[in-house]
Amino acid sequence: MAIQNQEKQVPKTPQMNERDFLNDMLTTEKYMTSSYSTFLHEASHQQLYQDALQIFTETQNCQRELYNLMFRKGWYKLEPANEQQLQQTYEQFQGYANQFPYQHNLQ
């Protein structure tokens, strides 16, 4: 059972429609936030870091707004995780956590 709003229908034509444009924009914003994140990890100049951080934040907010818009229109759906999936993910994380060099209480 998917978590989804009622899908807004768009005409099927060879031209890009509203859904295609929004999906393209969302994909671009995801790529940009990933790239800015990599830059922020490696920036050594403080002012350049601050400027890039501001741009990253604006880009991330734009990505979130596009996601919310697509979700409202029914073009983005989520699959709820069942109890077994949650338990498997938890156990997988615990396995990774045991490999951390500094053991902290992660529970």
Q: How many CB atoms lie within 10 A of CB 59?
A: 20
Q: Compute the mean pLDDT over every residue in the chain, rounded to the nearest whole number.
A: 87
Q: How far apart are CA 64 and CA 91, in angstroms?
A: 29
Q: Which whole-number Å values give the CA distances from 62 to 24, 51, 66, 67, 103, in the listed order?
A: 13, 17, 6, 9, 36
Q: pLDDT tens across 56-96, in order?
A: 999 999 999 999 999 999 888 888 878 888 888 888 888 77
pTM for the structure as a whole? 0.68
Q: pLDDT tens across 80-91, in order?
A: 878 888 888 888
Beta bridge partners of 78: 3
Q: pLDDT tens across 31-60, in order?
A: 999 999 999 999 999 999 999 999 999 999
What is the number of alpha carbons within 13 Å of residue 2 lying toward its C-beta? 10
Q: How many CB atoms lie within 10 A of CB 28?
A: 14
